[in-house]
Amino acid sequence: MNSVAGGIRQGGSSLPLDGLVVLELGEQLAVSFAALRLAELGARVIKLETAGGSDRLNELWHRGKERYSYDKSCGDAFEKLKRLIGQADVFLRSIDEEQDGPYGIPDAEAMRSMNPRVVCGIVTSCGYVQEAPWASKQASELVIQSLTGMPWLNGNEGDPPMPFPISVVELFTSSNLVQGILSALLYREATGEGMRVDVSLLESALDFQFEVLTTHLNDGGKLPQRSRISNAHAYLGAPYGIYETQHGYVALAMGSVTELGRLLECASLAKYTEAASWFTQRDEIKRLLAEHLLTRTASEWVGVLEPAGYWCARLQTVDELLSHEGFTVLQMLQQVRTVHGTELEALRCPIRLDGERLAGCRGLFAPGYHTASIDEEFELL
């Protein structure tokens, strides 16, 4: 193994999950991204798809996975899947995926009867209490965010609720699934027995808000209060937020308001000497700051604050991020080649092992590309 810190861990180097066979079923992002993370850590991931599925080569979260197609209306294909499950280490799926046709995928208990060592990871929308009011809710990012009140944390006081514009629930659920799978694999190493791992979007969304909900539950039931100006966190005082400047925007994190006033030469902040006032008079302080910060550019303010150690940043656009040396030095991008020879760019796994970046999953294959070779290798014919 190349031991130079910061190097790229090459394909020939051993990875923690080398030798594990993972089966993935379903198109839900939480399941697909969890399977990708396992693949990046060395697992062999076989993506199960129905025959005749679309060739969606833009789905970069399927990179590095083998693609196996089956006909879910065919009993022979179902028998093949059972034999494949019997040789797998991990099976990942969303239980909300519809199983049309007479031959459905076996449930977790049936899988473990076929293969007592298999670890079965399942993602649901709202858990397994079938009689619960939300049992039939769809596995939708926006639906789950709305059920758990997350949109009320965004925007300023008085604004309508604003959902997070990225799939935070799906991705956090994926992280929980990976942690559960790895824990179950450790259990299997000690006992020789597989395990069922269940995670739901709803429970993951609640866990994602542990800071907000535990505070609410233990401070007399007070609701989170967004600030009216530059809100960025309901439970943090001034100056925490993003502010418009003469040119661009500047983010101010936690710090002394009086120290900030001194650095910015904003005399009106000098009177807020009590730290408690930074929250109780948050909107007033932020209003004064917002007016003062309009007198210079974001770059100028950062040039004043950063040398003094004050936590701040100029708000960047996506293009500014991608062209910045701070991004380039991380070497987060990799080239992914499709079966058609097209080169696509994707982010690499952010995990480093012994100081080395992971080379990543570089191939992106069409659905069904590996069906024949898997049939032969696993003796499914």
- DSSP assignments along 78-140, one per residue: HHHHHHHHTT-SEEEEETTS---SS-PPP-HHHHHHH-TT-EEEEEESS-S-TTSTTTT----
Per the CB < 8 A criterion, the answer to whether 364 and 344 are in contact is yes
Task: Give pLDDT tens digits for 74-87.
Answer: 888 889 999 999 99
Q: What is the mean pLDDT of residues 37-54?
A: 88
Q: For the chain, what's the residue count?
A: 381
The residue-averaged pLDDT of 136-145 equals: 92
Q: How far is it, in rounded angstroms, from Cα 244 to Cα 250? A: 7
Q: What's the order of all strands across the beta sheet hosting 333-338?
A: 343-347, 333-338, 363-364
Query: What is the model's pLDDT at position 360?
Result: 77
Taking Cα atoms as reference points, which of 87, 103, 86, 104 lies closest to residue 95?
104
Mean pLDDT of the 15-20 span: 96
What percent of the chain has pLDDT above 90?
78
- The string of pLDDT tens digits covering residues 249-295 is 999 999 999 999 999 999 999 999 999 999 999 999 999 999 999 99
Q: Measured between alpha carbons, how far is residue 35 from residues 5, 274, 305, 330 in Å? A: 27, 50, 43, 24
pLDDT band at 109 (very low <50, low <70, confident <90, very high): confident
Model confidence pLDDT, tens digit, residues 178-237 = 999 999 999 999 999 999 999 999 999 999 999 999 999 999 999 999 999 999 999 999
User: Higher-confidence residue: 175 or 338?
Assistant: 175
What is the residue whose two structure tokens read 């062209």? 323
Give pLDDT, residue 142. 97
- Residue 1 contacts residue 62 (beta carbons within 8 Å): no
Residue 46: pLDDT over 90:
yes
For residue 123, what are the β-bridge partners? 94, 199
Q: Rounded CA gap, 139 and 212, in Å?
A: 23
Which residues, in sequence order, are CB contacts of 69 under 8 Å at separation 6+?
49, 50, 51, 52, 53, 367, 368, 371
The whole-number pLDDT of residue 359 equals 79
Structure tokens at 140: 């939708």
Task: Give the chain's mean pLDDT.
Answer: 91
Hey, CA dihedral for 298, 299, 300, 305, is it positive or negative? positive
Give φ, ψ of 259 to 5 degrees: -65, -40
Separation between Cα atoms, residue 45 and residue 35, nearest integer Å: 7
Alpha carbon distance 66, 62 (integer Å): 9
